[in-house]
Amino acid sequence: MITTNGGDLIRLEHIATKRNLHSHKEQAPITKKHYQVTGYGENGTGDANDVWRITIIGAQNGADVTAVSSKLKFVHYLQSCILTTSGKQLPKWAYEQQEVSCNPNLRDPNGVWNVEENIFEKLPNGQFFSGSQYRIYLLGNPVIWWSNLVFIFVFLAVSTANAIKQQRGYIKSFTDSHKQKIIACSWLFLGWLLHYVPFWAMGRVLYFHHYFPALLFSSMITGILLDYILEEVSTFFEKQTAKFIYQIILGLILSTMVYSFYLFSPLAYGMSGPSANEPNSTMHGLRWMDTWEF
């Protein structure tokens, strides 16, 4: 395997036209203090003005050039100028693209480049989805996240109702089981607040993993409140009927969670084909909100 190193002399070939990146002592079209940079030669043939020397910023000659992380300067072999972009726009004959030139000032901050992608078929895939058209989208299961949000408000409503009952002397209506569940939810609600509210004050970009600790607390609140509500509903029926209804409702809830995981699993395990905003996409029906871009 041949590596590219600092200090190497190279030619840069344009893939589409098969011409070498070339510079000579002609004025650049816009920035007159710079030298002109053009495409020259054909199928790799050219002259010495096509040769550039690699300089790695912060590294000695001989150091390996790495994709993304290496900051490079391309110094012209004959003219001792660096490949740069002036930031100025070329006329219509150049399709109004940015001017690329060769600056004799080797300290030009715009003359720093990096390799964004390196394709080498003999290397193993660096990532799970490398070399494929699969894509992933980090989206929380909406059934779980939205249910947890609803049950946060349910907890506040139940707590308020119980507080009013206690004020009016209906203490006998509370069983020990009910009291334990409400106390447990109160502590979990405090945990949810401590793990959720602080992120509102942050000025940085927030991602899903910032909310995962709060999600655990809200999920536990949902589970306890579901059991609390189902027990309350069971008091209106006979023991056997109440048990049957409890199991049916619990089964439906669990089935909904499993099915929602099945529906949205391609987002986590890899999707292929058209984007969800296209009608012929297999994921089109799952784009419940316009802000979901998968």
What CATH number has the domain bearing residue 38?
2.80.10.50
Residue 27 backbone phi and psi in degrees, to 5: -65, 140
pLDDT of residue 101: 93
Residue 244 has pLDDT above 90, yes or no: no
Please name which of 82, 54, 81, 83 lies closest in space to residue 70, comparing C-alpha atoms: 54
Chain segment 114-164, per-residue pLDDT in tens:
988 877 777 666 665 555 566 777 778 889 999 999 999 999 998 888 888
Question: In total, how many domains does the chain have?
Answer: 2
Q: State which residues form the domain around 186.
A: 142-286
pLDDT of residue 216: 92
In a domain, 130, yes or no: no
In a domain, 253, yes or no: yes
pLDDT of residue 125: 62
Count CA within 13 A, CB hemisphere, residue 93. 2
Q: What pairing do the DSSP bridges indicate for beta strands 20-27 and 35-40?
A: antiparallel
Could you tell me the two tokens for 151? Answer: 């049950």
DSSP string, 240-285: HHHHHHHHHHHHHHHHHHHHHHHHHHHHHH-B-SS-TTSTT-TTGG
Model-level pTM?
Answer: 0.53
In a domain, 195, yes or no: yes
pLDDT of residue 43: 75
Q: Determine the average pLDDT of the residues in 212-223.
A: 92
Q: How many residues are given for the chain?
A: 294
Please name which of 155, 223, 163 lies closest in space to residue 189, comparing C-alpha atoms: 155
The average confidence (pLDDT) of the chain is 85
